[in-house]
Chain A
Amino acid sequence: MTTPTRITPPAPGDAARQEPGRQGPVRRAVGLVLAERVPLLAVLLVAVVGYFYVLGQQGYLVAPYDSDYLFAALDTLVPLCLLAFAELVVIVSGRGGIDLSVGSIVSLSGMAFGFMVGLWHWPVLIALVVTVAVGAVLGAVNGLLVAYLGFPALIATLATYYAFGALALLSHNNAPISTKPIQDVHSLTRTVSLPLGDQVPDVPLQVLTFLIPVAVLMWLLANRTAYGRRLYAIGTNDIAARFANIAVRRTRFLAYVLSGLLSGLAAVVTVAQFASARPDAGSVGNGMALPAITIAVLGGVAIIGGVGRVVGVILAGLLVVWLNAGILLAFEGSDGSQFQLFALGALLVLSALLNAYSLRRGRGAG
């Protein structure tokens, strides 16, 4: 129901677009930061870290904002980033893709892990694999609803958010599993020192064992694999994808499976971190889906689909985590956690505004 006449004369200016005129390097850099998300995030990251570092040096902070602290703060990044990757995948897949149920999948598969390790005394590694599989299966339910049955993603994952959350609570009578084997798993999240000398601070183990490998794999998936291509293709234009002989439904289905899989992984990390499999792990505060989606969007993932970079998500995650870490030191008591909310909300709205503005101004018209 759009363009009226079918036959249109060649539009004026139909010739290939002109190359942008030569601008000064400063102007171009500014333009780049405004237009591209990754450079903007990098700049903001440096600004934030620099700002808090200076504050710390001048004694305004409760504790020093140094590299030790920053590295230690990475422990909150791991589950967040994993879930943000999950959101990246489904949002990129297009057609209003989103996953509100990641928190509930974390809760439910976390309980599964709790059962396996805490009550049935399975070896941790096997339990881990099975937990991830459980997450994938839960994600497959979403995938079935969205890709094959045609439910809007918001609806399907809202429903599974409720259903999976309820199942998690029901699984163990609303009680966490914190038996000895579970508490032993906590060692998976201990801080370790890197054999890179004294200058390099200790880092939480899960960063090395979970975050970095997954980040690398995600990057490879998105940028180097055929599946990644298909994912971005269906997110950009799933009709053209069909004509290009891409299996649209299967690709979309797998996106949700992947999201569930990553959530399962995040579940294991969460259980280890808290030394307890909690049935409400995914619904603390506003739920885990919210910060995950926020980080994804902050990282440049476009809600319309087809756009989103793994590097952007990582940078956004770092920005949020280190900003939050700084805020915690700068404010007393619970003021800190409150200002974190402000920072998150403001970052989200401002970056989206910036994006919309630069789209309208330069690149959209060109």
Chain B
Amino acid sequence: MAVLTETLIARRRRPVARAVEGQELALILVLAAMWVLLSLSTDTFLSSDNLSNLLYSVAPVALIGVGMTAVIVTGGIDVSVGSSAAVVMVVVAKAIRDSGLALLPALGLGLVIGLALGLVNGVLVAYGGIHPIIVTFGTLNLYRFLALRLFENKQVTGVPDTFDVLGGGKDGETLGIPNAWLLTMVLAALMWCYMRYWATGRHWYALGNDAAAARLAGIRVKRRVIAAYALTGIFVGLAGCVLIGSGGLVQQNAGSGLELRVIAAVVIGGTSILGGRGSVLGTLLGALLVGTVTSAITLLGWRSELIELFIGVFILIAVGVDLVRERRRRRAR
């Protein structure tokens, strides 16, 4: 047992290992390996154009993923984010087109809408006593209905480039990196700190571990749950603005399938669907991995359907490895 204690202490000491869990380290390595391979096998992967495209397309998924990480850590889930993104997009797009709203107020509008939609989820889960998957399946439908009504049966065209600075074009980049991605990284870093160092952030983990014990320990469980969904809603608002980006067109099926991509990113990143465990860094890496796969397959000229095949396989590998690791950890005690 003394040996075990020493192992535990030694494991804890390495600063890199502290900040970065095992799963994340593996993901970084895999990502690095993929990028190396791809830069060797294609001419264009490492081009700034391609990389900035990749980062821009990953940004919305990663953004929402940051919030979704908190939700899943509490043992819940939110499958309505695609629909709420659509609501945000249609409202904000029309606002900047028809009312000439400037960047910041429009952004604020998006955030408020996202927050409101997220709050509804949070309150239903915390106070309604309903399982999160049912609540969010319900709001998925309701929000999609809302979005479609707001679209008024046609896509939104002629959207101005108010959000250019967050868009996918040249104006949306700083030093060659899309601002959307920079924003994502900053917010992810903040969230990472919050979930690691702030008491209320740690409470999410406690509550995901054992909600009953958390309540007994004095944690305001309902508040924390609502906060997680509300925060996700805010991130959805942001992501919606990023998706509007350089403007032009917002289609009626906006956000369709987004929730599954977000969940995939979170899960590949090492967050356990059972709650209590996970980190935002992993989610970022998971989103990057999915984005890299997408980009790679396109550049390599492979069938685009293979993207989803790879995503499925990666999910299994990531979760499988995590399962094995947890089992080994438990046996070592």
Contact = CB atoms under 8 A, between A and B. Distances in A.
B93 interface: no
A353 B128 contact: yes
A348 B134 contact: yes
Interface in B51-92: 77
Interface stretch (B9-17, B95-103, B308-316): B308-316
A143 to B, nearest CB: 14
B263 interface: yes
Contacts, number: 136
Given A152-B274, A155-B315, A286-B256, A352 B135 contact: yes
B323 A159 contact: no
A112 B327 CA distance: 38
B230 interface: no
Contacts of B210: 1
A145 interface: yes
Given A151-B316, A345-B141, A162 B311 contact: yes
Interface residues of A, number: 50
B30 interface: no
Given A158-B315, A162-B264, A170-B303, A352 B309 contact: no
Contact of B260 (A161, A338, A359): A161
A342 to B, nearest CB: 4
Give the residue among A155, A163, A170, A304 with the most B Cβ atoms within 10 A.
A155
Nearest to B135: A349
Contact of B148 (A159, A341, A355, A357): A341
Contacts of A150: 323
Give the residue among A151, A159, A359 with the most B Cβ atoms within 10 A.
A159
Contacts of B320: 149, 151
A98 B131 CA distance: 13
B305 interface: yes
B315 A159 contact: yes
Give the residue among B128, B210, B260, B312 with the most A Cβ atoms within 10 A.
B312
B141 A344 contact: yes
Interface stretch (A9-17, A186-194, A224-232, A290-298): A290-298
Contacts of B303: 170
Contacts of A164: 312
Interface in A191-243: none
B145 A339 contact: yes
B75 to A, nearest CB: 11
Nearest to B259: A286
A70 B267 CA distance: 43
5 contacts: A159-B316, A286-B144, A341-B141, A341-B148, A352-B134
Given A159-B313, A159-B319, 10 more contacts: A151-B316, A151-B320, A158-B267, A163-B313, A169-B305, A297-B137, A303-B134, A338-B149, A341-B141, A349-B130
Interface of A: 1-2, 96, 98, 145, 149-152, 154-156, 158-167, 169-170, 174, 286, 290, 293-294, 297, 303-304, 333-334, 338-339, 341-342, 344-346, 348-349, 352-353, 355-357, 359-360
